[in-house]
Structure 1
Amino acid sequence: MPELLRKLLFWTFIAFLIFFMAFRPDGAAAMFKGIGAGLMAIFQGLGDFMTRLMT
């Protein structure tokens, strides 16, 4: 991917996040809460797998 396109996509994503948090804070909070819950589930599953692997 060309460097200019990657920078453009990155800054567009950052601008969207700022806009989303400024004008839809409830939706943004729910989205980040969902992302956090998903990450916690992934790491919990990984921890369970490693625990069972070692026993």
Structure 2
Amino acid sequence: MPGKAKTVLIWFVVAFLVYAIVKSPDKAADVIKGIGDVIVQAFEGIGNFFSALVGK
């Protein structure tokens, strides 16, 4: 049963994402852009950490 529940949950999430994109594409794009910005900042922070660690 856990495998079936996981499949249902995945389909629910996919359906919700499609609905959100169709209903409000501008807001969906803003959310994706925000997530991308967070990921970029995280990698910059990791890079800065290792640069400081090696440089000093």
Amino acid at match of 1:19: Y
1:9-48 to structure 2, matched below 5 A, reads 9-48=9-48
Q: Which runs of 5+ in 1 are unaligned?
A: none
After superposing on structure 2, the runs of 4+ consecutive aligned residues of structure 1 that deviate more than 2 Å are none
Identity in percent: 36
Task: Supply the distance in 1 between the matched residues of 2:46 and 2:6 (Cα, whole angstroms).
Answer: 31
How many residue pairs get aligned? The number is 55
Amino acid at match of 1:34: G
Structure with greater Cα Rg: 2
